[in-house]
Amino acid sequence: MGGEALRFFAPAAWVNGAWAPDVVLCVGADGAWSQIICGASAEVQGGAQRLPGPVLPGLVNGHSHAFQRAMASLAERSASAQDDFWSWRDRMYSAANRISPEQLEAIAAFLYSELLAAGYTQVCEFHYLHNAPDGSTYADPAEMSMALVRAAQRTGIGLTLLPTLYMRSGFAAKGLRDDQKRFASTPESVLRIASEVRRQAGESDRITTGVALHSLRAVDEGAILEVATYGKSMPVHIHIAEQQLEVDDCIARHGRRPVEWLLDKLPVNERWNLVHATQCTPAELEGVRHKGASIVVCPSTEANLGDGVFDLARWMGQSGSWSIGSDSHVTRSWQEELRLLEYSQRLTLRQRNVAARSAWCESSAAALFQGALDGGTAAAGAPLAGLAMGQRADFMVIDTVSPALLGVPASHVLDALVFSSPDADFSDVFVAGRRVQRADSDLRAAFVRAMNALWS
């Protein structure tokens, strides 16, 4: 990114895990932080653009299926005596198999504008809609991927595209079900998509790629090794240990639990991001931490689908790396994700301030926000670790007149942001030092047209 250097002044900013007063934030011509000055004098503040409220760094949304935004709230009615993750999955497939590239771009662009308004400045797109609805390949195999890239470019959000390998319907299956043919891919095809996206995106500082493996049930060992060993610096994402049936099937097939098998068979390291991991033993979590891998927790989706509760207390107690994702996008608020994450621990353990005590921190909100921030770089494969030199200059400006914040002492603003609802707003959001715009009428109209075409 080229351009002139910028300077901002914030009355307070979240620096190194705490509020700092009177902060001057300097953005270099490359869109990264060049200097952070805390306790800045009036003289140093001179000439800086004054921001109207406290500043938080932007957060990474570590796990997204953008097309599922089209079914948010539309799978909340039960049609049978049994309703679980697997019946929801069948309904999700019916949506996945109808969406065109144009509709995907419209849905993703509106979603990304929502995520930006909420303070997410980078989204990791776990993308497996590679083919046409009938399973045939597009003339450009990256057609659906580029729809997501265009959506990100239109809105200004950073994007980590994760072309996802999906080869079979289950551990013992030889191929995909008919309703999964749109997802069909090979190690060569997903690596080619990642390369093509990087080529077409050019020198963009906001578009990057990694690779994803849908799950152990969907990919065999040889294919995982082939994909995961390509591109030594790219992030690797995988759904794992989300549902108990998945664990049982893995034991039946391999004699081991999914995370146990993964750690034993594959070169898991700090590039790896394990999504969900809601069905993990203490020993497995210790093994993941030992390898330096991260967890991506998706509290709203895990609650919506009945996945279970991630063992946050143990993971934070081990200083494990983690980020958050909105996954199926039943909510687009990081505040709600963190609130649900803490409340699920309280409901399970019948204790309060679990995150605070697990992280040896006074504030649960601070422990949760800082944890999600610290793990974002691993998920995104980009320098997004907050207000620090060399990191991309992403930040949100808190609207202090939001009802949830009225009368709250300055020292407790983050606590109120996470634990007082309805969510407080952000007056402005910046990516790479540049203010991003809210969703305009064109984005909204295109989203409505796509929804009408899919559901009318």
Over residues 154-210, the pLDDT tens digits come to 999 999 999 999 999 999 999 999 999 999 999 999 999 999 999 988 877 799 999
Query: Would you say 330 and 336 are in contact if contact means Cβ atoms under 8 Å apart?
Result: no
Catalytic residue, from 65, 276, 394, 425: name it: 276
Measured distance CA(214)–CA(387) in Å, rounded: 33
Q: How many other CB atoms are found less than 10 A from the CB of residue 47?
A: 9
The angle, 0 to 180 degrees and rounded to 10, between the axes of the packed helices 258-265 and 282-291 is: 30
- Per the annotation, the verdict on 327 as an active-site residue is yes
pLDDT, tens digit, 9 for 90 and up, residues 52-101: 999 999 999 999 999 999 999 999 999 787 899 999 999 999 999 999 99
Measured distance CA(293)–CA(285) in Å, rounded: 10
Measured distance CA(372)–CA(376) in Å, rounded: 6
- Per the annotation, the verdict on 237 as an active-site residue is no
Measured distance CA(56)–CA(349) in Å, rounded: 30
pLDDT, tens digit, 9 for 90 and up, residues 430-456: 999 999 998 899 999 999 999 999 998
Catalytic residue, from 214, 237, 311, 327: name it: 327
pLDDT, tens digit, 9 for 90 and up, residues 367-385: 999 999 999 999 999 999 9
Measured distance CA(64)–CA(68) in Å, rounded: 9
CB neighbour burial string for 127-164, b if at least 16 within 10 angstroms, e if fewer: bbbbbbeebeeeeebbbbbbbbbbbbbbbbbbbbbbbb
Domains of the chain: 6-57+387-441 (2.30.40.10), 59-380 (3.20.20.140)
- The model scores a pTM over 0.95: yes
Q: pLDDT value at position 4? A: 63
Q: pLDDT value at position 1? A: 44
Q: Which two tokens stand for residue 87?
A: 């019946």
Query: Would you say 331 and 339 are in contact if contact means Cβ atoms under 8 Å apart?
Result: no
Side chain identity at residue 27, one-letter code: V
Kindly report the average pLDDT of the chain as a whole number: 96
Instruction: Pick the closest to residue 315 from 353, 351, 277, 347 (CA basis).
Output: 277
Measured distance CA(339)–CA(324) in Å, rounded: 12
Q: Which two tokens stand for residue 118?
A: 């909420």
Measured distance CA(28)–CA(23) in Å, rounded: 16
Share of the chain above pLDDT 70, in %: 99
Say how many residues make up the chain.
456
Q: pLDDT value at position 353? A: 98
